[in-house]
Amino acid sequence: MSRKLKSSAVCPHCWHRFRPDQTLWVAAHPELLGDRLLTPEDPVRFLPSRFTPAGEAIDPAGSKTRRLACPNCHLEIPQLVLECPMVIMSLAGSPSSGKSYFLASAMWKLREELARHFSVAFTDTDPAMNRAITNNEGQLFLNEDQSASVAIDKTEMEGAQYNSVQFDPGVATMLAHPFIFTVRPSRDHVNGHAPHRLTQLFTLYDNAGEHFFPGADTARAPGTQHLAKAQVLMFVFDPTQDVRFRQRLAGVSGDPQLAPGAKTTRQDQLIVEMARRVRMHAGLAPQDRVPKPLFVILSKSDIWGPLLKDEDGTPMDITTPPYARERAGLGRMSIKRVDRTSDRIRALLCEVAPELVSAAEDAFERVIFIPVSAIGTSPVLDPASGLLKVPVARIAPRWVTVPFIYTLARWSTHLVSSDKSEGDASFGTPLDSTDMDPS
Ligand SMILES: Nc1nc2c(ncn2[C@@H]2O[C@H](COP(=O)(O)OP(=O)(O)O)[C@@H](O)[C@H]2O)c(=O)[nH]1
Ligand SMILES: [Mg+2]
Ligand SMILES: [Zn+2]
């Protein structure tokens, strides 16, 4: 541990705040199995007293280890959690609104686009922890067979969404699984000489939609506590699950999700429930607005995009990215264009589903509407499996990176430039940023 550690860190699994010297290590010796809070197959966690000159800890059976764990929940944490500020984002939305496709598509495109336009590297902080997402990215974007049609496996994603810890013997507590990404300037970035100081972590939670229905048990699901810790909340709104949008879309798109009989959801109620949980976990009064930004992400824009018009009635461009390289080593985000698009979506929603706008704006201090399409094309019903599958050759995501790069542009002016220089108070500051050395 030669680099500079923060004075304290927060566990991305259980939110326990601890000093780096309290960190536990994960035993490497094959006989040291059976941690008391985890499963009999999990290696024991220990507080080391001996280290190698290279900074590895030596476990009680004499094996060397580099793996770290939280002193409270014993789940594994990446070393960078002890070093870098963390931005926490929580994603919610009704089942089948497109959360898993959006996450896979957004993470893949962030790797590509941040490198290409911004000279910023976006990588897995710990590849093993992100496997559920990277598997999905692989299916959609790295398929060798370009004639294949694929579907993201629902059960795999949901199995990977929670980790079980036995704080009391025999009682399993489910903690939401964090997906952690490292954002850092590359060597050719204008601030590439100080990469360590500008490195930050994006920690994401993909909530199982089912847990968000009002009345779903919360006592056994501390899985939603991250909502209170998150600096940025994202709600995926799926217009194809709204009766009124479906009526308007009947002649506009032939997507199988618009076929008669599909399930519809009261999505405004989910926003209200999300806000209720944020307030509860954060100790806010029921009438208080949540002092954080909410991105309302309208998914599947390939289907409903034609409904979105500019003030003069012309269709809006929601395909070309609102960012580009500004000069060598620096990319620029057009916050103005995103805000203008958000205004137009708000106007459309006020016409078609006004209660959604009121629910969001009543609960959150700042609401930004973003149109995304994870795949940019319609899935096709596969008669053999009954699944909706996506022809990989047609995948072309739209705007999936925008909420993330917008957030970066608001926070990290040293990393991403924008057409609005002043900060945005409602974006607050990243968790632990007080420990960060302003450059
Ligand atoms: N037309 C269209 N369909 C999509 C898009 N993204 C996801 N879908 C479909 O929406 C369905 C649900 O997506 P999924 O991500 O599993 O939803 P989740 O339950 O919220 O995680 C899948 O059948 C996808 O084919 C998109 O960008 N466009
Ligand atoms: Mg899902
Ligand atoms: Zn923990």
Q: How confident is residue 261, by pLDDT bands cut at 50, 70 and 90?
A: confident
DSSP calls for 337-392: HHHHHHHHHHHHHHHH-HHHHHHHHHHEEEEEEEE-BSSSS--EE-TTT--EEEEG
User: Is residue 265's pLDDT more than 70?
Assistant: yes
Cα 93 to averaged position of ligand 2 atoms, centre (Å): 9
Among the ranges given (84-98, 210-224, 246-260), the one the predictor scored with the smallest mean pLDDT: 210-224
Q: State the ligand closest to the CA atom of 101.
A: 1
User: Is residue 169's pLDDT more than 90?
Assistant: no
Report how far residue 173's alpha carbon sits from residue 166's, in angstroms, rounded to the nearest whole number. 6
Q: How confident is residue 410, by pLDDT bands cut at 50, 70 and 90?
A: confident
Among protein residues, the one with the nearest Cα to ligand 1's atom 19 is 96
Closest CA to 336 of 230, 422, 250, 218: 422
Model pLDDT, residue 174: 83
pTM (predicted TM-score) = 0.93
Residues 21-60 have pLDDT tens digits of 999 999 999 999 999 999 999 999 999 999 999 999 999 9
Nearest atom of ligand 1 to the alpha carbon of 151:
25
User: Is residue 290's pLDDT more than 60?
Assistant: yes
User: Is residue 435's pLDDT more than 70?
Assistant: no
User: Is residue 221's pLDDT more than 70?
Assistant: no
Q: State the ligand closest to the CA atom of 222.
A: 3
β-pairing verdict for 68-69 and 24-26: antiparallel
Ligand 1 contacts (CB < 6 A) are 93, 95-101, 152, 154, 209, 255, 299-300, 302-303, 373-375, 378-379, 388, 390
User: Is residue 305's pLDDT more than 60?
Assistant: yes
Question: Quick check: 108 and 141 in contact, CB under 8 A?
Answer: yes
Q: How confident is residue 178, by pLDDT bands cut at 50, 70 and 90?
A: very high
Among protein residues, the one with the nearest Cα to ligand 1's atom 4 is 300
Q: Which residue has the higher pLDDT, 143 or 214?
A: 143
Looking at residues 72-77, what average pLDDT do you find?
Answer: 97
Other CB atoms closer than 10 Å to residue 42's CB: what's the count?
A: 18
Average confidence score pLDDT of the chain: 90
Residues 96-153 have pLDDT tens digits of 999 999 999 999 999 999 999 999 999 999 999 999 999 999 999 999 999 999 999 8
DSSP tally for the chain: helices H, then strands E: 10, 23
Q: Which domains does the chain have, with CATH numbers?
A: 1-83 (no CATH), 85-433 (3.40.50.300)
